Structure 1
Amino acid sequence: MKSERTGSLSRFLQQGLLMAGLLLAECKTSEPAGSEILDSAYGPGWSAVHADSRNSDYSSLQGPRKVELAWQRKFEGTINLGPTIGRQGQVYMTTNAGDCHLYALDPQTGKTVWCTDKVNKFAVASSALLDEQGRLFIADNEAMHAFDALGNLLWETEIQGFPLSAQFTQTGRLIFTTHIGMIYVLDRKNGSLVLNPHPLSGEPPSDPNFDPRACMRGTADCPCANTLAIDQQTGRFFFTYWAPGAVQAGVRAMVYSEKNGPSIKPLWEHTALPGGSASSPDISADGSRIYVNDNAGGLHAIEAATGNSIWEFAMGYEPGGSQSTSPEGLIMPAGGGGAPLMCIQDMGQEAKLVWKNDSLNHLGLPMQTAGNLAFATVAGSPNKSYKDLVIVNTKTGEVLDRVHFPGKTLFTVGTTIGGEGNVYVPGFDGTLFAFRPK
């Protein structure tokens, strides 16, 4: 059955819910003043779009050194992001065509366990966020939704714009930005507002239209085009934003706290992303710095406490998505154009190219795992319409395994690993591939 929400987004925009310039909003919770209860809300494994709250695209699991194709499945429409993995290994993914837009798949066969039409096609812009109880949180352009592990709708809360995936605060709240520049903090148990929504421009945006190309490149027509990263120790969160009238995009830092009642406070702005934001920001393992890509081929390291630039590395191409960052500071950028597969090391005050393989034309979003392994999609044979999955040693660039994707596929949009060691790689054309350890 189709969702029967009666309020339209246009009516919601006219409700006058917001107050211009609001930073400290009315508390909606019963938390005692002066306290902050830390709540590690994330489910085990790959529970967020980029693995964790830091957007690391890294797994502490030991990845397989050899794989073979387990199954593949073609969906109607497109897939925009990699799947997330539930406690029991179920694979959760979104697509924009057909009646269902959120699927739970059996990890061994790829068959549908359940699917729901309670989210619309705009849910394709997000991956489901999973908490430790197995609940799923995902939005479309009308509401944020919560489901239980069986696919039952628990609650939905109307929003303005749509998020590109959500995260949990250090206190276990649901936090996200929508593409038009609105920050929301919700109680994940019932969807109630913890704070009144915060418009980054000072007032609710008047035009919530969605421009797919702008959101893929993080340009001015899609001000918040990526997933925020949040430090679970400090409550600092970081997101890309192209402010109205600005000449280029940047990174903003704010802090969420409940020590004296729920609040959001701005920390700094770093406005140095020419051409727009090419990736979500990710936080180093020690929380000291932020990594982000621009659309002019630059990888930036920014000081998390101050927003000061630490270094910029010229990659020589525009990446097609977010990078993967290991706890040791090894960075694997996303592919794009004719880019070679490469690995960059954060050396502290500068970045160094560890290795680059010009024979591997990188055409996807990479993942790193424990054991110094990286998984990436490269051009196959006879042309770029065919792809191979490669497993490489991140320290040396040695290719440990190379497996062909059956048939033709487009740029791959994520790489995810399950608890059993399966590696999942979706193509933008709607095909999801699963590789098992060999």
Structure 2
Amino acid sequence: MRTNKFLFYAMPCIVMASMRLMGCGDGGSGDPAYGPGWPAAHADGHNSDYSPVKGARNIAFAWQRKFEGTINLGPTTGMDGQVYVTTSAEGCHLYALDARTGATRWCTDAVNQYAVASSALLDEEGRIYLADDEAMHAFDNTGRLLWETPITGFPLSAQFTQTGKVIFITHIGLLYVLDRHTGKAVIDRYSLAGGMPADSTFDPQACMRGTEACPCANTLAFDQRSGRFFFTYWKPGTPQAALWGMRYTEEGGPAVKKLWETSALPGGSASSPDISADGSRIYVNANTGGLFAMNAETGATIWEYDIGYEPGGSQSTSPDGYIMPAGGGNAPLLCIRDAGDHAALVWRNEALQNRGVATQVAGKLVYPTVAAGSERFSYDLLVVDVLTGRELDRERLPGKGLFTVGTTIGPEGNVYVPTFNGLLFAYRPD
């Protein structure tokens, strides 16, 4: 068993083609390395927090679990009937649960508590990739450790490249690309700062907000069609965070190349960027309350929309440009639409306080968690019409939940909602 150094605190990164249910969906990437279902932290390589599964307009409570540690991100799911969740609880830090009952099929302590910063990444062959602050690990779907590769720092989830390699950036700005079959490095470790970071310690408050002491505090978004990937980075010594665009290529040998950076994120950002369905735009939040659309090729700002608060996670973006910002504070539930050269408000409901990542599904539905009236730490899961904001169904999350940290849609249409204090709820189509 690994030695657990100290408890990891909350991270706000709070997140299928027709019947095949391709893992990257019709909203983004189509690389076969991604497993079917919800295989990545924010659903797919584009970080869309969108599922092409036809969503249910009515849902019913199925089961719940309580873990003694924290849960920081939504689970991932595959077609093998397993739900994968990471937790900081003592003992096991990666659990595989039965999607029907929530019972533990297996768990492992081969990763330490820093694994809670990531959601498990699943490939088409059922393998699982998960890092802590010591190594990136690969498991098969029975929990058997296949390989582990030492790393410095910890990432906030990983993605696949267009050629199926595992790519990730640790919180201190070190980029790795590994062969997913062997764990061997495909390129030399790449430092965003140009040299080895002087300090690899971890500041929980900085990582919660993506500020200078935690330079890379979110999951990179990767476009399989172009090889471009995007992430926020607060370079040491600079006045604010920037959005970076880079490209991974294997032409002439595996390599990464910086394309551009734009220092347009005042106050930093711990919300993962996401890529539009056509790959032309990047959506990213600043801690000052601005949601930006950036040109993916040049990094130029296309528009900025003031949502009025600092979001506690990344937004959900549908293939046709409907955007549901994550909650934060007493934030209202709202929907905006990318209208080309500007963002247009579709609706805003001040009576519904958004308490998590409002995940969209096919059929123009969204599943947000909201405050349950005036009762402290009580939340409801809603089914809402994306186009009108009309509430279609409401289900209580049993118990006291602090706040939700990402909503996941399973391939069977189940809705999985975890809370920071270790609760995981499952709802089925009714």
TM class, shorter-length: over 0.9
Contact 1:284 1:291 in 2 (8 A): yes
Structure with the greater alpha carbon radius of gyration = 1
Aligned pair 1:200/2:195, yes or no? no
Of 48, 65, 72, the match for 2:64: 72
Contact 2:3 2:112 in 1 (8 A): no
Cα distance between partner residues in 1 of 2:280 and 2:373? 42
Query: Which structure 2 residues correspond to residues 149-298 of structure 1 after superposition, within 5 A?
Result: 149-298=141-290
Contact 2:407 2:415 in 1 (8 A): yes
Q: TM-score, normalised by structure 2?
A: 0.93
Compute the displacement of 1:244 (Å): 0.8
Cα distance between partner residues in 1 of 2:242 and 2:403? 26
Letter of the 2:424 counterpart:
L
Runs of 4+ in structure 1 deviating by more than 4 angstroms, as ranges, are: none
Compute the displacement of 1:3 (Å): 4.4
Of 139, 156, 166, the match for 2:131: 139
The residue number in structure 1 matching 2:346 is 354
Aligned pair 1:381/2:373, yes or no? yes
Compute the displacement of 1:39 (Å): 5.3
Compute the displacement of 1:146 (Å): 0.2
SS of corresponding position for 2:143: coil
Identity %: 65
Compute the displacement of 1:45 (Å): 1.4
Of 401, 407, 428, the match for 2:399: 407
SS of corresponding position for 1:240: strand
Compute the displacement of 1:401 (Å): 0.5
The residue number in structure 1 matching 2:83 is 91
Root mean square deviation of aligned Cα = 1.3
Contact 2:31 2:224 in 1 (8 A): no
Cα distance between partner residues in 2 of 1:238 and 1:125? 19
The residue number in structure 1 matching 2:19 is none
SS of corresponding position for 2:403: coil
Cα distance between partner residues in 2 of 1:400 and 1:379? 16
Contact 1:217 1:276 in 2 (8 A): yes
Structure 1 unaligned spans of 5+: 9-37
Cα distance between partner residues in 2 of 1:214 and 1:366? 24
Compute the displacement of 1:307 (Å): 0.4
Cα distance between partner residues in 1 of 2:63 and 2:350? 30
Letter of the 1:94 counterpart:
T
Contact 2:78 2:411 in 1 (8 A): no
Cα distance between partner residues in 2 of 1:233 and 1:274? 30
Cα distance between partner residues in 2 of 1:299 and 1:61? 26
Query: Which structure 2 residues correspond to residues 108-127 of structure 1 after superposition, within 5 A?
Result: 108-127=100-119
Cα distance between partner residues in 1 of 2:149 and 2:3? 13
SS of corresponding position for 1:365: coil
Compute the displacement of 1:86 (Å): 1.8
Of 291, 295, 312, the match for 1:299: 291
Compute the displacement of 1:89 (Å): 2.3
SS of corresponding position for 1:122: helix
Query: Which structure 2 residues correspond to residues 335-350 of structure 1 after superposition, within 5 A?
Result: 335-350=327-342
Compute the displacement of 1:365 (Å): 1.1
Aligned pair 1:316/2:317, yes or no? no
Contact 1:278 1:319 in 2 (8 A): no
Compute the displacement of 1:366 (Å): 1.3
The residue number in structure 1 matching 2:21 is none
Cα distance between partner residues in 1 of 2:376 and 2:345? 25
Letter of the 1:288 counterpart:
S
Structure 2 unaligned spans of 5+: 6-29
Q: TM-score, normalised by structure 1?
A: 0.91
Compute the displacement of 1:305 (Å): 0.2
Deviations 1:306-355 (A, max 9, x none): 00000000001110001000001000000011110000100000001100
Compute the displacement of 1:382 (Å): 3.6
Compute the displacement of 1:87 (Å): 2.2
Compute the displacement of 1:40 (Å): 2.2
Cα distance between partner residues in 1 of 2:204 and 2:429? 36
Letter of the 1:314 counterpart:
D
Contact 2:207 2:270 in 1 (8 A): no
